[in-house]
Structure 1
């Protein structure tokens, strides 16, 4: 099953779902790039984009780069981001509110800590015996993508970046920052003592994605 097939927006056809997924993964893009990725003519791509703009899923902006005509970039709107699932958001928020009301902030912190420990146990088991950082990143990308985070990694010189293009628990993470801190600690422990992991982009702070910069300490 293709990864965009789970996006059940009835008003979008498969090409438009693929476009929306590409914008989710790569950020704002011109029509020509989307046309090339979708195997369409520029005019064909623009027709799909116009329909999605009419329905409010994407917007466009003009960007000037030196001499020449401005470039039109297309990006997902807040309504478009809402089409991607936030795993049981309302129920999760209700449960967090109830836990805090019944057991206080300490009880909520203990709940998050318990979740962190179980997740870390699973991650560390998955990377057991892996010596190479690249192998550990491959594993993290695989398991985080399976959990709905649309993860990927890449290397830029001596730096590595772990990127998550979606947060399926965004509502909970926005309400309680402990989830984000716990995930950062899990990444640090899973990737090992030989690296430094820092979050450099954060969805709940308004970024398009969460991104983690990974530096090997022996460089």
Structure 2
């Protein structure tokens, strides 16, 4: 029983690492999880049999091609997508009854509610970096698997490795536009916010480059 629990634990860790960091080799995963590469390869075979991972090969100057593992759509479905079917049906219902204008009003109301909720958590932030840190924490709590990456002095990348409203965003692109508006409003006029990666455009994650204007 303990062996079975351990296998499940490592499997979940593997899926989470790939979700957070993108394509990984067996050696990458072994290093991050402190497990032997041989054990990782055994797990990857099991995950492939379960159709949770797939791979692409990259040729090397010497030796055999290296496998880079990534998640399948089936694996992505294991991560939270808050009441996706219900939300999509509600969006379709609002659009049918109230039209695009009514849907726009609904999204606008949601945007303002988000801004108010986040702002209450940021009231003691001393600078834009602290605001980004708080926003990242709040987004992670909501299932976005967010992280901060320091690109260069004065430039941060807020990366969201999972979209917990992806199905809804596919049905209503205004949701994505409103997310950018929320970030711009919360982080203030002393920074520039630019979306540089977008799941709906085929990228692995959504990412926002935040740079100081000073």
Aligned counterpart in structure 1 of residue 200 of structure 2, from 204, 208, 212: 204
TM-score (norm 1): 0.91
Aligned counterpart in structure 2 of residue 16 of structure 1, from 11, 24, 33: 11
Structure 2: distance between partners of 1:86 and 1:156: 29
Structure 1: distance between partners of 2:18 and 2:30: 12
Aligned to 1:99: 94
Aligned to 1:156: 151
Segments of 5+ residues of structure 1 without an aligned counterpart are: 1-9
- Cα RMSD between the aligned structures? 1.4
Aligned counterpart in structure 2 of residue 118 of structure 1, from 113, 118, 134: 113
Structure 1: distance between partners of 2:68 and 2:117: 40
Structure 2: distance between partners of 1:46 and 1:21: 16
Structure 1: distance between partners of 2:195 and 2:12: 29
Name the stretch that deviates more: 151-160 or 197-206: 151-160
TM-score (norm 2): 0.93
Secondary structure class of the residue paired with 2:180: helix
Aligned to 2:165: 169
Secondary structure class of the residue paired with 1:13: helix
- Cα distance, 1:138 vs structure 2: 1.1
Aligned to 2:67: 72
Structure 1: distance between partners of 2:102 and 2:175: 14
Structure 1: distance between partners of 2:18 and 2:110: 31
> Over residues 47-95 of structure 1, what are the superposed CA-to-partner deviations in whole Å (9 max), with x where a residue is unaligned?
0000000110001111135x22322111101111122121111111111
Segments of 5+ residues of structure 2 without an aligned counterpart are: none
Aligned counterpart in structure 1 of residue 20 of structure 2, from 19, 25, 28: 25
Structure 2: distance between partners of 1:189 and 1:212: 14
Aligned counterpart in structure 1 of residue 47 of structure 2, from 49, 52, 66: 52
Aligned to 1:41: 36
Structure 1: distance between partners of 2:59 and 2:111: 45
